[in-house]
A and B are shown apart, each in its own frame.
Chain A
Amino acid sequence: MDKIKEKIRERIKPILQGNEIDDDENFFELGLVHSLFAMQIILFIEKEYKIELDPDEVSLENLSSIDAIAEIIDERFKKTPSV
């Protein structure tokens, strides 16, 4: 889980423009991300972890913080450990 979060932080870092955020902070509410951000996060998850997200996994709740994103990736690993 920590490794997953580290990778997400790495990806989010340039977008946050030097602002430090906690893993549970909602980056949509911070107003630092633009309208194509969700697309990029989805592409990042699918490419990095070679998974195809189900439509019900792609929601504001699941993509709004480092913790939330790590959670859906971790859940996938639990379901299909070979992924």
Chain B
Amino acid sequence: MKDLKKHRQYNMGFNSDFEKEVISFVSEYITPYAIEMDVTQNIPNAVIKNIADKGYFGACVKSKYGGQNMNAYDIMSLHKIMAQGHGSVENMLTVTGMVTQPIQRFGSREIRDKWLPLIATGEKIGGIALTEPNAGSDLRSVETCLTDKKDHFVLNGVKRWITLGQIADFFLVLCKLENKTIAVIVERNNPGLKIKSIKNMLGLKANMLAELEFTDCVVPKENTIGSEIDGVSTAINFGLDEGRFTTACGSLGIAEAALSEAIKHVREKDRLNKHQLVQKLLTEMIVDVESAKNFCTAAAEAREIFDLSMVRKTLLAKYVASKAATSVTSNAIQILGAKGCHLNSSFTERLYRDAKIMEIIEGSTQIHEVLIPKEFLYV
């Protein structure tokens, strides 16, 4: 009953106390730095420290490890509002969740005891290294290779476009071990790891991307996380599932913000208010936002009650919300006209650039078009 009440509350657009807390946090600690983040292409240490102090890095870390163990509705609010502050801040928390879930579920006791408290407090930042120059959305084709040297492993290969690569203290790296995919933890100070910054991306400009080059990188055997069961490391699948959910919620936040900007502009310009073609655009935007909100809320509800449909509802939410974000931000720019096109000074243009990236990360729209029918055919 409690869950249902909360579900209704979110669907009716009310802000929970937690959501109000995040709105206040973002207004004070993220929004004032948003333009600077795009220009300098990084998240200032002060912003990271404030997020850490608030405990947001530990959103999905269990309480016994010092985390917040937030319910799915609060995680939805957190990511929705963070993305309105800055997409890269939201994505930093998405990546943290993607690192947390595999470690929490599949890490050995030693690994969990070591890393989860550090993640929860923000003392150590984690990155997840999946994408390679020749392997993007199809994770089965990763070429980064782990070789068994009896008392340790050796890792060789290249990972590219790794979010937080410029600052992360450790990485969860997807690689192949004897034709099976597996995840291993590699710390930043490993002498076999070379890190090169990647800059000047279209959106999520403060993601601090990097290329990671592993050359005869020695990895202790106890650093492995889970094993492959059905094609891709199951640990990584749990990480991706978390990432899809939070990216869906971040996309919803971007779409809502763009709609809000467009409505504000139309209200200011009475002439536009009456124009039927503008009304058509607004209608499409409102339907997209409401649709994204419903899909995200349905996924949150399934996740909260641990329903088996959570996997497919999360896929649907990510697919619908990220497409909605692209479409709504594009329409918002169309309505704002030149006013919405000023680089690094128009809020809407940043939302537009960030939205496009949301459709690519954590499984592109096209990968979802492969996964979603499979979910419904098999289940």
Chain A positions within 8 Å of B, measured between CB atoms, are 14-15, 17, 28, 32-40, 42-44, 46-47, 55-56, 58-60, 63
A28 to B229, CA, bound (A): 8
Nearest CB of A to B77, in Å: 24
**Are B378 and A39 in contact, with the CB atoms below 8 A?**
no
Asked if B342 is at the interface (CB within 8 A of a chain A CB), the reply is: no
Asked if B226 is at the interface (CB within 8 A of a chain A CB), the reply is: yes
**Are A55 and B374 in contact, with the CB atoms below 8 A?**
no
**Are B311 and A58 in contact, with the CB atoms below 8 A?**
no
One of B227, B230, B374 near A28 (C-beta < 8 A): B230
Asked if B359 is at the interface (CB within 8 A of a chain A CB), the reply is: no
**Are A47 and B306 in contact, with the CB atoms below 8 A?**
yes
Chain B positions within 8 Å of A, measured between CB atoms, are 105-108, 225-232, 234, 237-238, 241, 306-308, 310-311, 371, 374-375, 378-379
A36 to B230, CA, bound (A): 8
**Are A37 and B378 in contact, with the CB atoms below 8 A?**
yes
Known: A55-B105, A55-B108. A60 touches B310 (CB 8 A): no
Give the number of A-B contacts (CB < 8 Å): 68
A34 to B238, CA, bound (A): 15
Best-surrounded residue of A36, A38, A59 (most CB of chain B within 10 A): A36
List A contacts of B378 (CB < 8 A): 14-15, 17, 32-34, 37
**Are A39 and B241 in contact, with the CB atoms below 8 A?**
yes
Best-surrounded residue of B228, B231, B232, B241 (most CB of chain A within 10 A): B231
List A contacts of B228 (CB < 8 A): 60
Best-surrounded residue of A32, A33, A44, A46 (most CB of chain B within 10 A): A33
**Are B306 and A55 in contact, with the CB atoms below 8 A?**
no
A56 to B232, CA, bound (A): 17
Which 4 pairs show the lowest CB-CB distances between chains A and B? Answer: A38-B229, A35-B231, A38-B234, A55-B106
22 contacts between A and B (CB under 8 A): A15-B378, A28-B230, A32-B378, A33-B230, A33-B378, A34-B375, A34-B378, A35-B232, A35-B237, A36-B371, A38-B230, A39-B238, A39-B311, A40-B308, A43-B310, A46-B306, A55-B106, A55-B107, A55-B108, A58-B229, A60-B228, A63-B229
A46 to B310, CA, bound (A): 14
Name the residue of chain B whose CB is nearest to the CB of A46: B306
One of B227, B230, B234, B308 near A47 (C-beta < 8 A): B308
**Are B308 and A58 in contact, with the CB atoms below 8 A?**
no
Known: A36-B371, A39-B238, A58-B106. A44 touches B227 (CB 8 A): no
Name the residue of chain A whose CB is nearest to the CB of B230: A38
**Are A58 and B231 in contact, with the CB atoms below 8 A?**
no
One of A38, A44, A56 near B237 (C-beta < 8 A): A38
A55 to B308, CA, bound (A): 20
Nearest CB of A to B220, in Å: 16
Known: A38-B237, A58-B106. A44 touches B374 (CB 8 A): no
List B contacts of A32 (CB < 8 A): 378
One of A37, A55, A56 near B230 (C-beta < 8 A): A37
A39 to B312, CA, bound (A): 11
Known: A34-B374, A47-B306. A58 touches B234 (CB 8 A): yes
A55 to B238, CA, bound (A): 13
**Are B379 and A60 in contact, with the CB atoms below 8 A?**
no
**Are B308 and A15 in contact, with the CB atoms below 8 A?**
no
Nearest CB of A to B98, in Å: 14
Name the residue of chain B whose CB is nearest to the CB of A27: B230
One of B226, B241, B371 near A55 (C-beta < 8 A): B226
A32 to B308, CA, bound (A): 19
List A contacts of B310 (CB < 8 A): 43
